[in-house]
Structure 1
Amino acid sequence: MKFESLCKRSAAIEAESGDLETVSLVAALLSESDEDLSTITRFIQGRVFPAWSSETLDIGTSLCHVAIARAAGPNVRPEDIENRLAERGEIGAVAESYDFGGQQGLAAFGAGGSQGRLTVSEVDSELRSLAKTSGSGSQDRKLDLLFGLFTRCSPIEARYLARIVLSEMRIGVGEGAVRDAIADAFSVPADTVERALQVTNDYGHVARVAREDGADGLTALQLEIGRPVQAMLAQAGTAAEGIDTWGEAIAETKFDGARVQVHYDGTSVSLFSRNMDDVTDPLPEIVEFVSETATVPCILDGEVIAIDENGDPLPFQAVLRRFRRKHDIAKMRNEVTLELNAFDCLHADGVDLLDEPVTERHATLRSVLDGSQAVSETIQTDSLDKIAVFETQSLEAGHEGIMLKDPAAVYSPGNRGQHWLKRKPDIETLDLVVTGAEWGEGRRANHIGTFLVSVRDGDSFAPIGKVATGITDAQLEELTTLCEPHILSESGQSIDLSPAVVFEVGYEEIQQSPTYASGYALRFPRFVAVRDDKTPETADSLDRVDRLAESQ
């Protein structure tokens, strides 16, 4: 398919406001995609690689701005791109506003008239080549490749290429719409598509299997060691709610650590974060432990926590010092000791266990790890008193609280439901996306001093408050460094940021307020931590804030 054809279809989808109509348009596009089906399924979500893949283009907004400026002509500077971005609001509209057919583009390729001739497969191939560019001078080579693509783009192609490059497709097509479109396009049940997506985490692959092999092919798809899936999530709840609903509850320790998915193929170990990033290299002691302990190939779910010299747990921030590490890993291993606490088994010895009850999965986990103390401690009871005692023991041991699980619950990747409940004894927190900021004053003038935080609201983000307390000077310096690459524009002290960084924010109360677009404001918000393990797409939603506000 011509890339321009895909872009025109994307524009039609973007212009459609109805959910059913959007699904219908996407289904029609997928059914006509031929050999480009997998690529198009990813492109319309702003993806080049499958959701499970850790591979990225590694192109920030600044590099994209430079590429657009170069393609637009010798008189256009990156600053001009930023100024036009402030006017037009998003990078696609900026790229579309320039004529990339000038002499600079012609000189780069030695021929004219190439605009509108790009194919989807060519764009995919070029972007994958760009992603593989590494080493000395890699940024310059990435810039050259991206510049070359833009010079071959018609205006509408430039619009969507810029969005794909920055993973901001913005056509109103979420994961649910793609799932339903695959079902409609190839006449397969939506729940069968959903299940296939859960075990593969690859929309492009699922679309192709649905077209070629139908529902039977989708049903045959299984977990694959080395290919991470989304983690099952918990919602807030009480022990009484759990017992009333389930009859009995499994209580287990809630660790103040970082979620990891462990993949062991019988020889090698791979570790993935909650965002499915590959974190194998920074965690060598976890790799060693699994290699020495696991009795069969497996996929495990658990948390990595940091411990002191006495084996007592350290705060979550200590774990992040290791997760962020790309260099001096041996040195950091000596400074921060990590251990695995496994609480679930998704696959063992060639058998998927997602549909088994949690009691069976936990029993298999004990067998896989040969009775190791790394398996989380649990109790199963209908007694609130016993759960209270277990919670007290967990807190006294320095852990965060307890989890409550339905003994009959299956493992549902990516879903947050009533089968897992989390109890925390301390203040409630929200995981919020930083979408704006303000430069500090006085001794903090060179650092960001205030952060505008937002909740997820569909495909956009709605502000809910500003955070300026609970942050030390050292943390401000680190947070400024973290946020600066995502600055879109500045006006005086105010900063507009692209949604990229997620903060855990504590608060005392959620109040209704006309000040923010969310309709709420946080009372006494304070910074708790950076959630490196979360993306803006997995931050807390406005629906959750609605529920929390109602339950206060």
Structure 2
Amino acid sequence: MEFAEFAERAGDIEGLSADTDIIKAVTDLLASANDDLEVLARFVQGRVFPAWDSTTLDIGPNYCYAAIARAAGQNVSADDVENRLAEMGDIGEVAGSYDFGGQQGLAAFGAGREELTVAEVANELETLAGVEGTGSQDTKIDILFGLFNRTSTQEARYLARLVLSEMRIGVGEGTVRDAIAGAFDVPVEAAERALQVSNDYGRVARVARDEGHSGLADLQLEVGRPVQAMLAQAGTVTDALYDWEEAGIEWKFDGARVQIHYDGEEVSVFSRNMEDVTAALPEIAEYTRENLSVPAIVDGEVVAMDDGEPLPFQEILRRFRRKHDVARAREQVAVELRAFDCLHADGEDLLTVPLTERHDRLRAILSGGVSALTVTGDADEIAEIEANALDAGHEGIMLKNPESTYSPGRRGKNWLKRKPDVETLDLVVTGAEWGEGRRASFLGTFLLSARTEDGEFETLGKVATGITDEELAELTELLEPHIAAQDGQTVDISPRIVFEVGYEEIQQSPTYSSGYALRFPRFLGVRDDKSPEDADSLARVERLAESQ
């Protein structure tokens, strides 16, 4: 498929408002995709790589601005592109506003414009993602320039959005799932299950087309390919015992979620965002290799410890972020595994097996490091377990339906987290302000937003307290590549980074677009283990405000 046709169809989809119309348009796109099916199933969501693949383009907005400016002509600079973005508010609209005339000279001699294909875009972006080392920045800009230089106005609009993962045409994972089912006449439930075990929309689309329902049923988990983690929501003991009569109780550790894959020889450790963090946590890989008896996929948490006492969550995140001098970091911050679930063991998928059986299987194959699971309907016993967890320095308890299956990526009522301490919010940074005086070179005030159901972000406060000079330097280094536009001291930041924030109260306020404001917000840390899609929703903010 020519990229121009994809861009035209994306534009049509963007103009639709009804969910049914959007699903039908995506269904038609997939049905006509031919050899480009796998790529289009990703592109329409704004993805370049499969969901399980931690490969990224590693392209900050500034690289994209530079490539657009270069394709737009000698009289356009990256600053011009940034200024136009501040006016228009959408990088796609900005890219589409320029006349990329690199091919006009050829047309004047009768050569015409060489049409860009979807496959070429995918291949070039894959090449770009693999560029590293000295001169990599210039090489990446060269590749982007080459693409933009071949685009029409419409193509440029969606290429820019794709590069920065900001497709914004109203297509989410559920839309593509339903479109796969509609395009290839398979049950939605079959597509859903296949997506859960493969975490690859392109592959599921191809199998649905080529092999139908039976092919989807044959898809299984694969050791080495991460899937989304099952998620919990806030709840109470009363909720749990009312719904289930008995609950499975575990300590809730103040750690970082990991999914461990062991093929019998090699170990891979993935973060909650499915990033490969094996190199940063060598002792977890070593422990798994020594204590796991069969090939398996294990779910758990990594906890920072000091002489048997748990350390704050930020200590484990320091280990996750470490890419260099890991040996020294290992000496400074020791980490331990607390495994609590088993998705696959010795060739057998366990997603549909009840929680209690999965836990028994986990204890049978992993010698040590397994979190205790107590099944009880006694509220007093649950209170005692919670007290013991808090006395040991942990966050509280998890309450789980003993009969529940494992649903990757789902946040349902089968897992409840109970934390008796003050609530915190995980919010997305969408703006910032440069500091003054000795902090002039640091971003010092951060604009926080909650996600909405349609994938947008609404502001509800700024945080500047609780941050040391050292942390400001780290945060500036982390956020600066994501600066989308700047106006004086104020910058807009693409939604990529999640902060954990404490607060005293949530108030109604016209100051911020959400209609709410945080009273006395304070920075607690960066949630490296969460993507913007995992951040707290505006609906949760509203519930917390109502419950005060």
After TM superposition, give the deviation of residue 116 of structure 1 in Å. Answer: 5.9
Alpha-carbon separation, structure 2, partners of 1:21 and 1:55: 32
SS in 2 for 1:176: helix
* Contact 1:101 1:115 survives alignment (8 Å): no
Report 1:124-139 matches (<5 A).
124-139=122-137
Deviation at 1:134, TM superposition (A): 2.0
The runs of at least 4 aligned residues of structure 1 exceeding 6 Å deviation read 109-112
Q: Are positions 1:394 and 2:392 aligned together? A: no
CA contact (8 A) 1:116 1:157 kept: no
Match for 2:465 among 438, 462, 469? 469
SS in 1 for 2:444: strand
Distance in structure 2 (CA, Å) of the matches to 1:361 and 1:110: 68
Q: In the alignment, is the contact (CA less than 8 A) between 2:82 and 2:486 conserved in 1?
A: no
Contact 2:102 2:150 in 1 (8 A): no
Determine whether 1:296 maps to 2:291.
Answer: no
Partners of 2:390 and 2:257 in 1: CA distance: 19
- What's the counterpart of residue 447 of structure 1? 442
TM-score for both structures, normalised by structure 2: 0.97
* Map 1:487-506 → 2, pairs under 5 A: 487-506=483-502
Match of 2:328 among 331, 340, 362: 331
Q: Deviations over 1:471-525 (max 9, x none)?
A: 2222222222222221122223322111111001112322222222212222222
Paired residue secondary structure (2:207): helix
The CA deviation at 1:119 is 0.9
Q: Is the 8 A contact 1:114 1:152 kept in 2?
A: no
SS of the aligned residue for 1:421 comes to: strand
Identical counterparts, % of pairs: 64
The C-alpha deviation readout for 1:446-474, integer Å capped at 9, x for no partner, is: 32222110000122101111112222222
Kept after mapping to 2: 8 A contact 1:116/1:153: no
- CA 1:114–1:387: 2 relative to 1, 3 Å: farther
Q: Distance in 1 between matches of 2:149 and 2:374?
A: 63
Tell me the CA shift for residue 133 of structure 1.
1.7
Give the Cα separation in 1 of the matches to 2:111 and 2:288: 57
Q: What's 1:548 paired with?
A: 544
Q: Is the 8 A contact 1:3 1:116 kept in 2?
A: no
Return the alpha-carbon distance in structure 2 between the equivalents of residues 139 and 518 of structure 1. 37
What are the within-5 Å matches in structure 2 for residues 17-166 of structure 1? Answer: 17-102=17-102, 113=111, 115=113, 117-166=115-164
Aligned residues: 547
Partner AA of 1:262 in structure 2: I
Aligned partner of 1:14 in structure 2 is 14
> What stretches of structure 2 of length at least 5 have no aligned partner?
none
Q: Distance in 2 between matches of 1:171 and 1:99?
A: 23
Deviations 1:232-279 (Å, cap 9, x if unpaired)?
111111112111111011111111111000000011000100000000
CA RMSD of aligned residues (A): 1.7
1:549 to partner: Cα distance = 2.8
Other structure's SS at 2:318 match: helix
8 A contact 1:254–1:402 mirrored in 2: yes
Partner of 1:195: 193
CA distance in 1, matches of 2:218, 2:22: 29
Structure 1 residues 510 and 42, CA, compared in 2 at 3 Å: closer, same or farther? same
**Equivalent residue for 2:256?**
258
Q: Following the alignment from structure 2 to structure 1, what is the Cα–Cα distance between the partners of residues 111 and 507?
A: 58
Q: Partner residue of 1:209? A: 207
Any gaps of 5 or more consecutive residues in structure 1? Answer: none
- Please say if residues 180 and 205 of structure 2, whose CA atoms lie closer than 8 Å, have aligned partners that are also in contact: yes
1:403-451 residue CA offsets vs partner (Å, 9 max, x unmatched): 1111111111111111111111211011100111222334433322221
Q: Distance in 2 between matches of 1:433 and 1:250?
A: 32
Q: TM-score, normalised by structure 1?
A: 0.96
Deviations 1:95-130 (A, max 9, x none): 111111247x869x9998564601111111111111
User: 1:270 is matched with which residue?
Assistant: 268
Q: Does the 8 Å CA contact 1:115/1:153 hold for their aligned counterparts?
A: no
* 2:417 paired residue among 396, 417, 422: 422
> Offset at 1:138?
1.9
Q: Secondary structure at the match of 1:418?
A: strand
Paired position in structure 2 for 1:314:
311
User: What code does the residue aligned with 2:449 have?
Assistant: S
Structure 1 residue aligned with 2:377: 382
> What is the match of residue 246 of structure 2?
248
> Which one-letter code corresponds to 2:40 in the other structure?
I
Change (3 A) 1:261 1:59: same
